């Protein structure tokens, strides 16, 4: 079952399309790959043996992959082991699996080359299409951070610098024509100490390369939906994010325009204009 | 002194890394390695930033060896090839293997649990002094490394050199 087991407050290396477990499952608007444990599965989940890493800890058991933390070659690492989908034709399954893993690895490398913080790839297992990545130790997801700030009663405006940093980061990513594909606040990590606002992007399983303002607009829209539904009363924050994005990105004009158009589409929206 | 690490994903294998300095017979060693007379990969420590880099290369080489998808003819050649950021085998040997004039040599052994390899045997073939791997940073030529792996200046600012290198090594064939 895709019941995401929340690891309270600790490192999150989410996987493609999974609902962030912290606050509200129903709210997530990310491209949901799997129902949040709604309907029961017909057959039990296929066996995905855990990797034999010392200090092994299951972080998340999702639809796309099982995520573990442990020591790999002496370093703190995250292992994403893909879950094979038995209902798919095996040839298709193999091809899809391989392509997703390759996309993820490629995007991570592309990020690094552009100076965008993303985990380093330690090993790509071409047989199981699993990937072993750097573990950003003691990090918190932006989602957890925002929640804790809001819960402790602090004014949301203290989060504006964070939102601006996020806007900057996304601008740099989109300027590299890299579309994340699953932008949510649990796919952005804050390296310790949190005051430094050192952000790391993770989970590039649904990423792809595109220069189209449409794709970038949709990427931002996904984040907007996820942001506003998971974190109440943060419209101003997201506005600040967009403002910085527009200022930092050289190609932002058409993207923001597209974003406005995309907002008019979607569910429960009139198709006029 | 030397570093040994058991590969988590391939528990029957462990990797041992030895570093030798003030080596006098690099040419003879290279010849022996080419003939396959030495049970180990001979690597130029100038291009190595950290033993982790070797472990990642060895892990990948053992993985490919197990599934029969090595690009080179032997496991040790594959380790050297895995260190390279590109897919040119002879270039990898030229840059990461040892040359006749080298005075420092890194030897990597992959030990099978059933067949224990004699460390003294390897060490005796080297006309040099075995030193601790802690001395590796003194031997590394970081400029050469940056050039070889084509590390961009903005990348340098954000990440450690080791992470950038390892990332390139592991995603080389996926790109």
pLDDT of amino acid A2? 38
Strand ranges (DSSP E) for chain B? 3-6, 13-21, 41-43, 105-112, 129-131
Whether A27 shows a pLDDT value over 60: the answer reads: no
Lowest mean pLDDT among A13-27, A200-214, B16-30, B93-107: A13-27
Rounded to a whole number of angstroms, the distance from the CA of B126 to the nearest CA of chain A is: 27
Work out the average pLDDT over A265-272.
70
Rounded to a whole number of angstroms, the distance from the CA of B29 to the nearest CA of chain A is: 28
CA atoms within 13 A on the CB side of B48: 32
Lowest mean pLDDT among A13-27, A143-157, A197-211, B38-52: A13-27
Work out the average pLDDT over B79-88.
94
CB–CB of B87/B173 below 8 Å? yes
Q: Which positions in chain A touch B170 (Cβ < 8 Å)? A: 105, 121-124
Nearest-angstrom CA–CA distance, A242 and A183: 14
CB contacts under 8 A, A 104-123 vs B, are: 105-106, 108-109, 112-117, 120-123
Q: Where are the domains of chain B?
A: 2-172
pLDDT of amino acid A189? 93
Q: Which residue of A has its CA nearest to B155?
A: A115
Work out the average pLDDT over A106-134.
91
Rounded to a whole number of angstroms, the distance from the CA of B150 to the nearest CA of chain A is: 9
**What whole-number percentage of chain B has pLDDT above 90?**
55
Q: Which residue of B has its CA nearest to A71?
A: B8
Nearest-angstrom CA–CA distance, B164 and B130: 29
A47 or A238, which is more confident?
Answer: A238
**What whole-number percentage of chain A has pLDDT above 90?**
45
CB–CB of B78/B71 below 8 Å? yes
Name the residue facing A106 among B11, B52, B175 (closest C-beta): B175
CB-based contact (8 Å) between A88 and chain B?
no
| Cβ contact, residue pair B56, A73, below 8 Å | yes
Whether A126 shows a pLDDT value over 60: the answer reads: yes
Q: Which positions in chain B touch A75 (Cβ < 8 Å)? A: 52
Lowest mean pLDDT among A40-44, A83-87, B2-6: A40-44
pLDDT of amino acid A270? 67
What is the average pLDDT score of chain A? 81
pLDDT of amino acid A273? 56
| Cβ contact, residue pair B8, A114, below 8 Å | no
pLDDT band at A120 (very low <50, low <70, confident <90, very high): very high
Name the residue facing B163 among A54, A114, A120 (closest C-beta): A120
Summarised one tens digit per residue, pLDDT across range A204-229 is: 988 999 999 999 999 999 999 999 99
Nearest-angstrom CA–CA distance, A185 and A164: 14
CB–CB of A77/A53 below 8 Å? yes
CB-based contact (8 Å) between A76 and chain B?
no
Rounded to a whole number of angstroms, the distance from the CA of A51 to the nearest CA of chain B is: 7
pLDDT of amino acid A135? 93
pLDDT band at A40 (very low <50, low <70, confident <90, very high): very low
Whether A234 shows a pLDDT value over 80: the answer reads: yes
CB–CB of B40/B27 below 8 Å? no
Name the residue facing A109 among B60, B69, B168 (closest C-beta): B168
Whether B80 shows a pLDDT value over 90: the answer reads: yes
- Cα A134 versus chain centre, distance: 15
Summarised one tens digit per residue, pLDDT across range A179-201 is: 999 999 989 999 989 888 999 99
- Contacts with B115 (C-beta within 8 Å, 6 or more apart), sequence order: none
Whether A232 shows a pLDDT value over 60: the answer reads: yes
pLDDT band at A60 (very low <50, low <70, confident <90, very high): confident
Work out the average pLDDT over B78-94.
93
Name the residue facing B166 among A101, A122, A126 (closest C-beta): A122
Mutation target to probe the B interface, by most B beta carbons within 10 A, among A55, A120, A135, A200 is A120
Q: Which positions in chain B touch A168 (Cβ < 8 Å)? A: none
Closest CA to B80 of B107, B113, B49: B107
A24 or B69, which is more confident?
Answer: B69
pLDDT band at B164 (very low <50, low <70, confident <90, very high): very high
| B51-to-B7, B87, B142 alpha-carbon distances in Å | 13, 22, 15
Residues in chain B: 175
ipTM of the complex: 0.91
| Cβ contact, residue pair B5, A114, below 8 Å | no
Name the residue facing A112 among B5, B59, B164 (closest C-beta): B164
Strand order across the beta sheet in which A121-125 lies: A57-61, A65-72, A75-82, A130-134, A121-125
Rounded to a whole number of angstroms, the distance from the CA of B82 to the nearest CA of chain A is: 11
Whether A101 shows a pLDDT value over 50: the answer reads: yes
pLDDT of amino acid A69? 92
pLDDT of amino acid B2? 83
Diameter of chain A measured on Cα atoms? 58
CB-based contact (8 Å) between A101 and chain B?
yes
Whether A43 shows a pLDDT value over 70: the answer reads: no
| Cβ contact, residue pair A108, B167, below 8 Å | yes
Summarised one tens digit per residue, pLDDT across range B142-155 is: 999 999 999 988 88
Nearest-angstrom CA–CA distance, A255 and A213: 5
pLDDT band at B121 (very low <50, low <70, confident <90, very high): confident
| B115-to-A122, A210, B14, B79, B118 alpha-carbon distances in Å | 28, 51, 11, 19, 10
Nearest-angstrom CA–CA distance, A230 and A2: 19
Work out the average pLDDT over A66-75.
91
Whether A4 shows a pLDDT value over 50: the answer reads: no
- Tell me the CATH class for B2-172: alpha beta
Work out the average pLDDT over A234-244.
92
Residues of A labelled as active-site residues: 182
Supply angle C-alpha A87, A91, A92, rounded to 5: 60
């Amino acid at each position: 079952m895709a019941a995401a087991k929340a690891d309270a407050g600790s490192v999150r290396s989410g996987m493609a399309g999974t609902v962030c477990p912290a606050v509200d499952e129903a709210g997530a608007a990310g491209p949901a790959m799997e129902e949040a444990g709604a309907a029961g599965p017909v057959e039990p989940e296929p066996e995905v043996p855990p990797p034999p890493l010392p200090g092994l800890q299951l972080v998340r058991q999702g639809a796309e992959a099982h995520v573990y933390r442990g020591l790999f070659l002496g370093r703190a690492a995250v292992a994403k082991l893909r879950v094979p989908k038995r209902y798919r034709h095996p040839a298709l399954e193999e091809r899809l699996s391989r392509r997703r893993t390759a996309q993820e690895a490629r995007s991570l490398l592309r990020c690094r080359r552009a100076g965008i913080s993303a985990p380093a790839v330690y090993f790509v297992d071409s047989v199981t299409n699993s990937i072993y990545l750097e573990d950003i130790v003691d990090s918190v997801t932006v989602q957890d951070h925002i929640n804790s700030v809001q819960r402790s009663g602090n004014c949301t405006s203290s989060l504006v610098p964070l939102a601006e940093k996020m806007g900057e980061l996304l601008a740099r990513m989109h300027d590299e024509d890299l579309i994340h594909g699953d932008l949510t606040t649990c796919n952005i990590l804050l390296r310790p100490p949190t005051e430094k606002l050192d952000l790391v992007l993770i989970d590039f399983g649904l990423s792809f390369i595109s220069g189209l303002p449409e794709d970038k607009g949709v990427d931002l829209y996904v984040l907007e939906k996820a942001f506003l539904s998971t974190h109440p009363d943060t419209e101003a924050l997201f506005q600040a994010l967009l403002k910085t994005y527009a200022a930092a990105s050289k190609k932002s004009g058409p993207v923001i325009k597209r974003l406005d158009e995309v907002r008019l589409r979607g569910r429960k929206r009139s198709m006029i204009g | 002194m030397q570093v040994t690490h058991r590969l988590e994903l391939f528990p029957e294998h462990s990797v041992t890394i030895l570093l030798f300095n003030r080596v006098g017979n690099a040419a003879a060693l290279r010849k022996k390695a080419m003939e396959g007379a030495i049970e180990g990969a001979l690597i130029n420590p100038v291009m190595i930033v950290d033993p982790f880099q070797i472990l990642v290369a060895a892990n990948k080489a053992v993985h490919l060896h197990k599934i029969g998808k090595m690009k080179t003819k032997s496991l040790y050649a594959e380790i050297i090839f895995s260190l390279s950021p590109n897919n040119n085998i002879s270039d990898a040997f030229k840059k990461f293997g040892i040359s006749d004039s080298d005075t420092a040599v890194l030897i990597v052994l992959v030990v099978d649990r059933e067949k224990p390899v004699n460390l003294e045997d390897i060490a005796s073939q080297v006309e040099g002094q075995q030193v601790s791997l802690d001395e590796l940073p003194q031997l590394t030529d970081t400029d050469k490394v940056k050039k070889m792996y084509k590390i961009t200046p903005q990348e340098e600012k954000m990440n450690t050199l080791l992470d950038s290198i390892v990332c390139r090594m592991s995603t080389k064939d996926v790109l």
